[in-house]
Amino acid sequence: MPRTVPPWEIKRELLTKTRDTTNPKYGHVPSQRPAKEYIQYGTINLDKPAGPTSHEVAAWVKKIMHLNGIGHGGTLDPKVTGVLPITLEDATKVVQAFLYSGKEYVCVMKLHGDAKEEQIKPVLSEFEDEIYQRPPLRSSVKRQLRTRRIYYIDYLETDGRNVLFKVGCEAGTYIRKLCFDIGEILGVGAHMQELRRTRSGPFTENSASKVTLHDVAYWFGEWEQKKDEATLHKFIVPMEEALALLPKIVVRDSAVDALCHGANLTAPGVLQVTSGIQKGSILAIFTLKGEAVALAKALVSTEEMLDLKHGAVAALERVLMPRGTYPKVWKSGGEHEPAQP
């Protein structure tokens, strides 16, 4: 069975429909935002330690940085370590993107009986593709049967009854339940002994941006003392990085404010679009400066977006940019298509 391609291995090409320029008076290149905005629209690739819950870790970051709001990209159990994206202030709006970007874990599974490597490997491969799962008793969601996609399970090694494997999966997959089910198929029983998340969407444990709670406290303290904006870049990345694995559309400046008011994107506003978009795909809309404007659902395919002259091409799911960042150049009411020049 061919393995399902995870989101981080999908190759997309940015195709140009037409060209335009952007006015430097409005907005900012994400990496060049002023300090206050850089924090307000920032994310942290945090390496969660064992012990605290994900909510506690987020609350500590909120307290350290004196923030009004904070979020995180996917709950980890207290004993689980690894990649926990933290979204700051208004960047919490991009948390939804992690639902479409996939996760990767390294797991130690404890077998309750003896099993050989040649028995374990084929059973692991049986769980690749779409599986059914009912969340475990100790979960924060309703315990109803649902499907989740396993992109791959790579066997690494066995030490006695401990089995080490790496799994790439869709967000919302319970690795604890996966271990239990593997044990049932092997006929010996099993449970999850240790777990580390090595990837959440575009953020990985090997990224240069990865930091610890101690790093956050240290660098934020340095910034408070010296007000050197370069210090913020040592532990915060723009929220746009959280959207890196989503297909995208780049729009002209004149379409931006209409989108910020909730208008659907129409064909005249499109400048560039990535390949492989299908009707129903969740995508991100960007300015020419690389700023995230909104999350949207595609109403047509990439090919149709490139060909269409009129009509809606994407329906907004979540506005990410505040109104007024770019000037209003559209008329209210009537049949005028707002998200066009």
Instruction: Tell me if 95 is assigned to some domain.
Output: yes
Whether residue 2 lies inside any domain: the answer is no
Q: Could you tell me if 184 and 116 lie in one domain?
A: yes
Mean local confidence (pLDDT), 63-80: 94
Mean pLDDT score, 282-310: 97
Read off the pLDDT of residues 8-49 as tens digits, 9 standing for 90 and up.
999 999 999 999 999 999 999 999 999 999 999 999 999 999
Structure confidence at residue 329 (pLDDT): 81
Q: Do 45 and 120 sit in the same domain of this protein? A: no
Assess whether pLDDT exceeds 50 at residue 337.
no
Q: How far is CA 144 from CA 55, 73, 75, 156, in A?
A: 24, 22, 18, 32
Q: Which of 185, 214, 239 is the last residue before a domain boundary?
A: 239
122 in Cβ contact with 185 (< 8 Å): no
* pLDDT at position 35: 96
- In 204-234, which positions are buried (b, 16+ CB within 10 angstroms) versus exposed (e)? bbeeebbbebeebbbbbeebeeeeeeebbbb
CATH number of the domain where residue 260 is located: 2.30.130.10
pLDDT at position 94 is 95
Whether 332 shows a pLDDT value over 60: the answer reads no
Q: Which pTM was predicted? A: 0.91
Task: Identify the domain containing residue 68 by its residue range.
Answer: 41-99+203-239
The average pLDDT across 283-306 equals 98
* pLDDT exceeds cutoff 80 at 2: no
Q: Which string of DSSP letters, residue by residue, matches 116-149? A: -HHHHHHHHHHTSEEEEE---SS-SS----EEEE
Is the domain of 106 the same as that of 196? yes
- Give the model's confidence band at 193: pLDDT under 50 very low, under 70 low, under 90 confident, else very high: very high
Whole-number pLDDT of residue 335: 38
More confident residue, 133 or 64: 64
Task: State whether 71 and 141 are in the same domain.
Answer: no
Tell me: do 190 and 218 sit in the same domain.
Answer: no
Q: Reduced to 3 states, what is the DSSP secondary structure of residue 279?
A: coil
- Residue 1 is predicted with a pLDDT of 47
Q: Which helix (H) or strand (E) holds 301?
A: none
- Chain-wide mean pLDDT for the chain? 93
On the question of pLDDT at 271 being above 50, the answer is yes
pLDDT digits (tens, 9 = 90+) for 130-172: 998 877 666 655 667 888 999 999 999 999 999 999 999 999 9
Kindly state whether residues 94 and 208 are assigned to the same domain: yes
Read off the DSSP letter of residue 93.
Answer: G
The closest alpha carbon to 251, from 261, 240, 239, 265, belongs to 265
In a domain? residue 65: yes
From 77, 129, 154, 181, active-site residue: 77
114: annotated active-site residue? no
Measured between alpha carbons, how far is 63 from 239 in angstroms, rounded to an integer? Answer: 20
Same domain, 254 and 288: yes
Number of domain units in the chain: 3
Q: What percent of the chain lies above the pLDDT cut of 70?
A: 93
- Measured distance CA(203)–CA(5) in Å, rounded: 17
pLDDT of residue 336: 40
Q: What confidence score (pLDDT) does residue 139 get?
A: 60
Verify that 69 and 209 share a domain, yes or no: yes
* pLDDT recorded at residue 330: 65
Q: Does the structure show a pLDDT above 70 at 103? A: yes
156 and 80 within one domain: no
- Assess whether 187 and 109 both reside in one domain: yes
One domain, residues 85 and 207 = yes
Which CATH number characterizes residue 90's domain? Answer: 3.30.2350.10
Q: Are 305 and 276 in contact (CB under 8 A)?
A: no
